[in-house]
Structure 1
Amino acid sequence: MVILKTDNQQDTSIQAADEIIRANEATITKLSGDVDFLEKKNTDLEARYTALFKLNRLSQECNDLDTFYSEVHSTIASLMTAENFFIVLYDQTFDTIEFVYYIDEKDEKPEGIIDYQDLDGSFTNLVIESKQPLLLTPELEKQLFDNYKIKQFGTRGTDWLGVPLLQNGLVIGTITIQSYDEKIRYTDSDLHLLTFAAQHVVGAMLRLQDQQRLKNAVNARTKELMTQIREREKSELLQESLYRISELSTDIDLDIDTFYSKVHNIIGQLINARNFFIAKYDQENNMLHFSYCVDEHSADLVKDFKPRKLTNRYSELVLRRRETVLLSYQEMMSLYLAGETTKPQEDIHSWLGVPLIYSGKLLGVMVLQSYHYKTTYNQQDAELLNFVSNHVSAAIKRRELADFERRSHDLLEQQVKLRTLALEDEINHRKQAETLLKHTAAHDSLTGLANRNVFIDLLSHAIECSKRKSNFSFAVLFLDLDRFKIVNDSLGHHAGDILLKIIARELEKIVRAKDTVARLGGDEFVILIEDLDSNQEAFEVAKRITEFLKEPFTIDNQLVYTGTSIGISFSNERYNDANTMLRDADTAMYHAKDNGRGRYEVFDDSMHQKVQNALSLEADIREAIAWQEFIPYFQPIIQLSTLALKGFEALARWQSTKRGFVFPNDFIPLAEDTNLIEAIDMQIIEKSCQQLKYWQNELGCQDIYISCNLFSKQFFSTSLPQRIERVLINTGLAPYNLRVELTERALLENADIVHTNMQALKAMGVKILLDDFGTGYSSLGYLHRFPIDVLKIDRSFISNVHEHDNHRAIIRTIVDLAHNLNMSTVGEGIENLADAQLLQQMDCKYGQGYYFSKPMSPQHAADYIINKLK
């Protein structure tokens, strides 16, 4: 059936079809726009990921930070217009900033490290303070400027775009681009893109900084090893040279001129010997004969080095003094002006001469001289030449004897008596050499005293005599010098050696002729006092020694104070061997040290029991470390101006399953002597960090820190930063919530390692406190050198400070010093309100002590925090 539509129906159908076509066309147009948008978005994403990949790759590809910063600029410039670009690093601890990379078409790069406050009100400070990205348009800049939020630094531009570099929520720097062109404007999309890039710059930058630190450490170690290798090679060369000199002296076929030439050649391998001569001393005729000479400034060696009567020239000075003489031209002029020598040649720069002595007889002089400033002889050269001269003297003497024997063959009958005398002389020399060898084997090389082996033999003999003779009595005195290490550290080992020699000579004068003084090593001496009529004789000797060593010594024009602690053990039938008796005297000496030094103690059985108790305590400490028995107690650190709680010092306590509660004074000294304190320190740090993290989660005290003590030797280990970092990672505590305390003693040894460890901890975010300041060396040198944040004023100055004017002066000096060095101060041992108020008036910022609270268990410390937070 066919249905015919009317005209109206046909018009309606056509209209509907047109509307459908228009709708489809609109849909197609929208889909086309979406495709373009998606393609653009995909292109942006590809650019971002390409930049991310390149940024992550930079720390592996770049060899140094400067190249890295330049590549960062290049990468960001590939994403947006960045003709003006700079990177700033911010040090929160010292409150400083540094422009490590700077490209700007208008302004010059700010040089060096800049105090953060000097750029107060700058765009960069605004980003650092807010920790947020900032897109600064001219409109926003005017608004901030009108509201005094910013100041004008540098040339005014169009748009300024800066983002922070964040590490663990802390700002460590910024990245900035800016435009001076109205045609180059930045958008929020640019801001997001730069923020996105900055997140990955931080990781790559830190990895590269770590690589640089590792490289520096490796270079330092390599340098140290190379020094050791050079010293070993030098020692081997010296041994080889001495052997060659010895060989030359036995080669009787070698004529004397060739012999001297070869000696010159051997010495020239050790020291610069371009100008060299050997002169023989004729004592009978008071003449000097030049046996061998080489001189680059002499036109006629025969004339310039002809034999001469002894005068007052420099070779004769060596002969008169019978010792090595090292002179610069200025020193030679001083001797001339003093009338001791003739005027030196104007072209001489450095002069070194040593006497040639064999068996106490002066044979002549050996001299090196330099005419050029590049060759200057030093004390090490002098010591080396003096050492070699002994062997040269022996070689010359042996050569003389060999020549004499060879000539004697021609005149055998006439020279029999002379040959016999020569042989007798040789025998005497050998006997003297044997005597010298025996003496060397039995005596200390530095002081000339008997050594340990000889002393043990003598003591063993005395013990045997006492067993045979009931009335034979004797004593052993064991001496240890007080503060000897301070002399070595402050004046050097040379001064320490001089002090030991002086004391050795005086000890031999103090004791009786039949007594024996020996040096065991270091600063330890022992005395055997035999055939005593009464114990009082030994006490008198000990008193004279202690009184003598209380007096100061003058070394290198400086007064040196020392002292001694003496242990005495008397002969007893229970002693069967020398080592036991010597051990007991040593034990008594340590009791003398513990009881105040500068005194003597007599050994008794209670001391032996004390030693046994110490051994038992040491075993229990080792067990307690394994069983995790050491726990932290917490003493609050208070801000004096507001009485607000700022942190806790963690103090080690021992809850022993065997001994019960053990007080610190009963176990810490022994733990330090046995190096067990290092394991205890790490237990206390880990448990303290765990406890503070728990309080943060439960009580919300996010700003409180924990301060833990570290034994000085901890800082001598290169693994310390890694161990601290591992504790922070395991406990989840942020580095800025941890402080470490060390004493001044740690700064006096292994300074390079200590400085490296402190820098690593600082880079990690851990602050460093110097404990007990004012009681040690208190040297300004290490305060400048080492990155210290806080000085803790020792309690000995704080206790009742309001009653002691001199203590107030010391504290004020320490506080002013700390302020000038941008350090904070903590007063320890505050026990009353008056002390607390006085410290606050002197601008000491923080305090701790019994006035605020004694050290508390973790439970009581939690209650303390809750009360402070109310």
Structure 2
Amino acid sequence: MVILKVANQQAKTSKAAEQLICAKEARIVKLTEDVDFLEKKNADLQARYTALFKLNHLSQECLDLDSFYPQVHNTIASLMTAKNFFIVLYDQTFDTLEFVYFIDEKDEKPSGLIDYQDYEGSFTNLVIESKQPLLLTPELEQKLFDNYKIKQFGSRGTDWLGVPLLHNGLVIGTITIQSYDEKTRYNDSDLNLLTFAAQHVVGAMVRLQDQQRLQNAVNARTKELMAQIREREKSELLQESLYRISELTTDIELDIGTFYSKVHNIIGQLINAKNFFIAKYEHDSQTLHFSYYQDEHASNLIKDFKPRKLSNGYSELVLRRRETVLLTYSEMMSLHLAGETAKPQDDIHSWLGVPLIYSGQLLGVMVLQSYHYKTTYNQQDAELLNFVSNHVSVAIKRRELADFERRSHELLEQQVKLRTLALEDEITQRKQAEKLLQHTAAHDSLTGLPNRTVFLDLLNHAIACAKRKDDFSFAVLFLDLDRFKVVNDSLGHHAGDLLLKIIARELLAIVRDKDTVARIGGDEFVILIEDLRSNEEAFDVAQRITKFLQQPFTLDNQLVYTGTSIGISFSNKRYDDANTMLRDADTAMYHAKDNGRGRYEVFDDSMHQKVQNALSLEADIREAIAWQEFIPHFQPILQLDNRELKGFEALARWQSTKRGFVYPNDFIPQAEETDLIQEIDLQIIEKACQQLKLWQDKLGCHDLYVSCNLFAKQFFRTSLPQDIAKVLKDTGLAPHNLRVELTERALLENAEIVLTNMQALKDMGVKILLDDFGTGYSSLGYLHRFPIDVLKIDRSFISNVHEHDNNSAIIRTIVDLANNLQMATIGEGIETLADAELLQQKGCIYGQGYYFAKPMSPDDATDYIIEKMSN
């Protein structure tokens, strides 16, 4: 019995031990499974961290968006199954969609920009409109179809997972993953992961988009500049060629055959002129004489180009039409079949002929031929050859006249001999006068011309003669070279001196021997024309001088253009001294400059009155400054999207006690010329700041600013920042409520002083606007160098934008450039609603112009602010 109990007890003990062992083994298995699960979860988290870290660095690793999008796909595919993947960009401004990246095993990528309305009811549309992530299972998709919430776009799949790309609260696109396989399903964890990844994608994508926009703007400007350079090089080559032909035409001694050969060579530099001929037309005999010819296919040049009677050739076609003829072989055959011309040569490919016409007279024809398909003449070649033909026509006519002149020369010599005795007395007197001039040693050292002292003596002598002799008449021509300063500044004073010598020599050749040419300083010449039979003689001299100086000069292998403005004063009994008459000629010269340069004007009393008026106006402006008569008028500057008033531009107006209201165009040019504009500017700034402070105190409009114009020379004064600071202190206006406007001209001179002044104003808190941007040099260099806050788009681009398509592109480029440089933009001169909408569409933030409001007096501007605040 005892043995049985012991056995039972041992059995129980053994069973308990077995159960304990099994429990421990089960616990070990459970712990092993937990460890495996945690290791797998840790590995997944590590993979997600690595993927998200890579997303953060994609904008630095990728050079452009085309390489960025595949990297995004690969990174997300490392986190979840993403066999079908696409990225859509949404442009809220233009309401368009663009599939910038698309990988799908069933559907093809939609191409180009797509109207957003065309995708209404799509899954993408739901994500964009809701701004929320969306996981579409077949069950949810069927419910949406049943409730007409969505429409089918593309192939139907299993699960569809899409998340919005949000930037500054706005949807700029979506990222989508799609599954067509029942084995690949997505859950909320995938949705959260894709949403989190999208947040990292947006920042990198926006940075790359900004870089691409900036690069596109730079590329567009570079392309434009290269086109301008090519056009300028082409123009310079044409100008040089025409100048060379002009030089040939003036060389009467040049053999005519050599002349034609040189013309052929010059044309060959502009057009392929391997096969070329010039034929003269003899009107009386109705014959063509081939004066010059070169032809690679002619078997016998002398035979093929012998003189011929007019027939039905293509040269005769040019003569009949008296216009340029450009033909291909097929067009030549058409003319032949129509019975208008002879059959063309079989090997001809392209044919171009122009008539040679001088003063309406038909002289002949000039022709180019091509026998090879690689050389086909076009309309541009035709226009160029036609232009060159004018110079060739002049040369031909001059040589015809040269023969006549030579025949007349012998007769002229006989007449000279007969008049020699009569002129001996006059020659003796002239020699005595020349000796007197030599003794005075009063000649210009550079040109050898008489100087001012000698000229005034001669002019006084002429005035005295006119008082003694009623039939004695003379004139004074006062010449000032146009653009001479450009020559000195660009090529140096050596080139300027050379130009003055050339002009002095030619002036002596133009006038008569008894006339006097003098240089009185700088680029100013005077001419005394004596013994006038009529005023027309003086006009003829002025016209010849003007025409001569319109031609280009070659200085140091550089083609230079100048010109002249001429003032003429005729002898009159009221002149008692030379200085008065010379002053009147000088006044007439400035009148010629004001009327467009490259012309002459005769002095009359109205010009003298104009000078007097200018002096009177200057005196009145000085008094007006002292009497504080200049006041600001205010033109509103609005935010284009909501028409909210942001500030005013203060414009100078003059209410004169003497003259009444004076328009800006009537006093600002005189004020700028005399530098009085600087004092007017400071007066306007002070009054504008006082008015804005008054509005702040009475109306509470503390966010408004006032923008004031500063003349370029203001920025050349080192005291400018102190002057502005004093105005702000005296008026109590905060610096951020004041803006100053300057033009590009101020940035091109005294750059260091300008930069120092601008930086001082910026440090003070005053913002700086660049006015009339796009009309000057428009250099990217100074936009980076100078601390500019706002670009004002010039009204010329806006007012002509509907007539010139490139103006729209320029506006867009300026806006993109400003945005990339963190500058604001203001469109000036907005005249219509269309102008305002276009600027807003191009991204311009602010605008001003007559469409919103004209410049207003302070009282009217007060009413305008009150009305805006009440709306």
Deviation at 1:333, TM superposition (A): 10
Say if 1:160 and 1:176, in contact at 8 Å, map to a contact too: yes
Match of 1:616 in 2: 679
Q: Distance in 2 between matches of 1:612 and 1:381?
A: 52
Q: Distance in 1 between matches of 2:155 and 2:41?
A: 35
Match of 1:162 in 2: 162
Choose 517-526 or 168-177, whichever is displaced more. 517-526
Aligned residues: 649
Indicate how the Cα distance of structure 1 residues 54 and 184 shifts in structure 2: closer, same or farther if over 3 A, else same. same
1:520-539 per-residue CA deviation (whole Å, 9 max, x = no partner) reads 3895798755354xx6xx79
1:314-344 per-residue CA deviation (whole Å, 9 max, x = no partner) reads 86798899xx9434459x999x99xxx9659
Say if 1:242 and 1:391, in contact at 8 Å, map to a contact too: no
1:151-171 per-residue CA deviation (whole Å, 9 max, x = no partner) reads 443333221111111223322
Say if 1:630 and 1:653, in contact at 8 Å, map to a contact too: no
Indicate how the Cα distance of structure 1 residues 526 and 715 shifts in structure 2: closer, same or farther if over 3 A, else same. closer
Match of 1:351 in 2: 352
Match of 2:773 in 1: 713
Indicate how the Cα distance of structure 1 residues 241 and 531 shifts in structure 2: closer, same or farther if over 3 A, else same. closer
Choose 347-356 or 151-160, whichever is displaced more. 347-356
Indicate how the Cα distance of structure 1 residues 129 and 790 shifts in structure 2: closer, same or farther if over 3 A, else same. same
> Is the aligned partner of 1:105 residue 2:105?
yes
Q: Distance in 1 between matches of 2:840 and 2:292?
A: 53
Match of 2:190 in 1: 190
Match of 1:811 in 2: none
Secondary structure of 2:292's aligned partner: strand
Could you tell me the TM-score, scaled by structure 2's length? 0.54
Indicate how the Cα distance of structure 1 residues 674 and 52 shifts in structure 2: closer, same or farther if over 3 A, else same. closer
Indicate how the Cα distance of structure 1 residues 787 and 849 shifts in structure 2: closer, same or farther if over 3 A, else same. farther
Secondary structure of 1:41's aligned partner: helix
Deviation at 1:35, TM superposition (A): 2.7
Match of 2:75 in 1: 75
Secondary structure of 2:177's aligned partner: strand
> Is the aligned partner of 1:853 residue 2:853?
no
Q: Distance in 2 between matches of 1:620 and 1:283?
A: 76
Deviation at 1:135, TM superposition (A): 1.6
Match of 1:758 in 2: 815
Match of 2:387 in 1: 386
Alignment of 1:236-635 (within 5 A): 260=260, 263-281=263-281, 287-294=287-294, 305-308=305-308, 325-328=323-326, 351-353=352-354, 355=356, 365-368=365-368, 375-378=376-379, 382-383=383-384, 386-387=387-388, 390=391, 434-435=509-510, 442-443=546-547, 455=565, 458=568, 468=577, 519-520=592-593, 523=596, 528-530=601-603, 532=605, 568-570=610-612, 613-618=676-681
The one-letter code of the counterpart of 2:356 is: P
Deviation at 1:87, TM superposition (A): 1.0
Indicate how the Cα distance of structure 1 residues 226 and 312 shifts in structure 2: closer, same or farther if over 3 A, else same. same
Q: Distance in 1 between matches of 2:739 and 2:592?
A: 28
Deviation at 1:616, TM superposition (A): 0.8
Q: Distance in 2 between matches of 1:570 and 1:758?
A: 47
The one-letter code of the counterpart of 1:530 is: F
1:229-257 per-residue CA deviation (whole Å, 9 max, x = no partner) reads 54565467568767987999999999987
CA RMSD between the two structures:
7.2
Q: Distance in 2 between matches of 1:225 and 1:159?
A: 52
Secondary structure of 2:270's aligned partner: coil
Q: Distance in 2 between matches of 1:760 and 1:632?
A: 37
Match of 2:644 in 1: none
> Is the aligned partner of 1:178 residue 2:233?
no
1:86-129 per-residue CA deviation (whole Å, 9 max, x = no partner) reads 11101122232222222333444334323333333322122223
Could you tell me the TM-score, scaled by structure 1's length? 0.54
Say if 1:80 and 1:190, in contact at 8 Å, map to a contact too: yes
Alignment of 1:593-742 (within 5 A): 613-618=676-681, 652=707, 657-658=726-727, 711-713=771-773
1:499-554 per-residue CA deviation (whole Å, 9 max, x = no partner) reads xxxxxxxxxxxxxxxx889753895798755354xx6xx79xxxxxxxxxxxxxxx
Alignment of 1:105-144 (within 5 A): 105-144=105-144
The one-letter code of the counterpart of 1:853 is: I
Unaligned stretches of 5+ residues in structure 2: 1-5, 417-504, 512-540, 553-560, 618-655, 697-701, 710-723, 749-753
Indicate how the Cα distance of structure 1 residues 147 and 573 shifts in structure 2: closer, same or farther if over 3 A, else same. closer
Deviation at 1:290, TM superposition (A): 0.4
Choose 271-280 or 22-31, whichever is displaced more. 22-31
Secondary structure of 1:100's aligned partner: strand
Say if 1:474 and 1:529, in contact at 8 Å, map to a contact too: no
Indicate how the Cα distance of structure 1 residues 609 and 686 shifts in structure 2: closer, same or farther if over 3 A, else same. closer
Q: Distance in 1 between matches of 2:862 and 2:685?
A: 31
Say if 2:686 and 2:727, in contact at 8 Å, map to a contact too: no
Say if 2:507 and 2:545, in contact at 8 Å, map to a contact too: no
Choose 269-278 or 26-35, whichever is displaced more. 26-35
- Percent identical across equivalent pairs? 46
Q: Distance in 2 between matches of 1:431 and 1:111?
A: 69
Q: Distance in 1 between matches of 2:19 and 2:370?
A: 110
Q: Distance in 2 between matches of 1:234 and 1:159?
A: 63
Q: Distance in 1 between matches of 2:93 and 2:381?
A: 44
Indicate how the Cα distance of structure 1 residues 373 and 527 shifts in structure 2: closer, same or farther if over 3 A, else same. same
Q: Distance in 2 between matches of 1:755 and 1:9?
A: 99
Choose 370-379 or 751-760, whichever is displaced more. 370-379
The one-letter code of the counterpart of 1:326 is: T
Choose 784-793 or 98-107, whichever is displaced more. 784-793
Q: Distance in 1 between matches of 2:695 and 2:158?
A: 58
Q: Distance in 1 between matches of 2:581 and 2:842?
A: 62
Q: Distance in 2 between matches of 1:526 and 1:241?
A: 26
Q: Distance in 1 between matches of 2:94 and 2:822?
A: 12
Say if 2:217 and 2:817, in contact at 8 Å, map to a contact too: no
Say if 1:713 and 1:746, in contact at 8 Å, map to a contact too: no
Say if 1:630 and 1:652, in contact at 8 Å, map to a contact too: no
Say if 2:546 and 2:598, in contact at 8 Å, map to a contact too: no
Say if 2:273 and 2:368, in contact at 8 Å, map to a contact too: yes
Secondary structure of 1:290's aligned partner: strand
Say if 1:250 and 1:398, in contact at 8 Å, map to a contact too: no
Q: Distance in 1 between matches of 2:365 and 2:28?
A: 110
Say if 2:106 and 2:155, in contact at 8 Å, map to a contact too: yes
Deviation at 1:176, TM superposition (A): 0.3
Match of 1:588 in 2: none
> Is the aligned partner of 1:93 residue 2:135?
no
Work out which of the two has the higher radius of gyration on C-alpha atoms and give 1 or 2: 2
Match of 1:223 in 2: 223
Secondary structure of 1:272's aligned partner: coil
Deviation at 1:186, TM superposition (A): 0.8
Secondary structure of 2:105's aligned partner: coil
Secondary structure of 2:324's aligned partner: strand
The one-letter code of the counterpart of 2:324 is: L
Indicate how the Cα distance of structure 1 residues 613 and 531 shifts in structure 2: closer, same or farther if over 3 A, else same. closer
The one-letter code of the counterpart of 2:383 is: A
Choose 519-528 or 159-168, whichever is displaced more. 519-528
1:787 aligned to 825, 830, 842, which one? 842
Match of 1:3 in 2: none
Deviation at 1:755, TM superposition (A): 1.7
Say if 2:830 and 2:850, in contact at 8 Å, map to a contact too: no
Q: Distance in 2 between matches of 1:180 and 1:51?
A: 25
Unaligned stretches of 5+ residues in structure 1: 1-5, 405-416, 479-514, 540-566, 576-590, 635-646, 692-707, 729-737, 800-827, 833-847, 856-860
Choose 307-316 or 91-100, whichever is displaced more. 307-316
Q: Distance in 2 between matches of 1:254 and 1:476?
A: 41
